[in-house]
Amino acid sequence: MQAFHPITEKTCRSLVGKPVLLVLNNGVELAGIVSRIEKNKLILNDSPQAKLNSTPKSTKTTIAKKGKKQPVQRDMPTSAESTEQLSSFGLPLFGGPAPAPRPTGPVDIQIDYIAALFSE
């Protein structure tokens, strides 16, 4: 891992599309892929389609000639499976407190709030 210093818009522009590890001034660590830099903000994990302002084209559905389509079944964990290993307080039975939830969608961070920035 390579540390980047000083952390400015100019130094962050070379990281677009690369995985990074951020340490914020308050000690929070974030990992993600740099999507873009705009208005002194670093945007992580943003989908490329989010920047497009066009409307999607309408598509026609086709019906199979020989049979009906089967509904798609998704494997989703049931509540019993996900809470088996948690105590009544929502903490793991062994191993300390539950980890903090990590953001799954796009994250924008003010560049001034970044204390350390690492990349490959």
For residue 37, the model assigns a pLDDT of 93
For residue 95, the model assigns a pLDDT of 65
For residue 105, the model assigns a pLDDT of 82
Q: What is the pTM of this model?
A: 0.55
Neighbours of 83 (CB within 10 A): 12
Distance CA 31, CA 102 (A): 9
Q: Which residues of the chain have pLDDT under 50?
A: 50, 52, 54, 79-81, 83
Domain count, the chain: 1
Whether the bond between 6 and the residue before it is cis, its omega within 30 degrees of 0, is: yes
Domain holding 28: CATH number? 2.30.30.100
113's CB contacts (< 8 A; 6+ apart) are 24, 25, 26
* Domain around 28: 1-48+101-120
For residue 4, the model assigns a pLDDT of 87
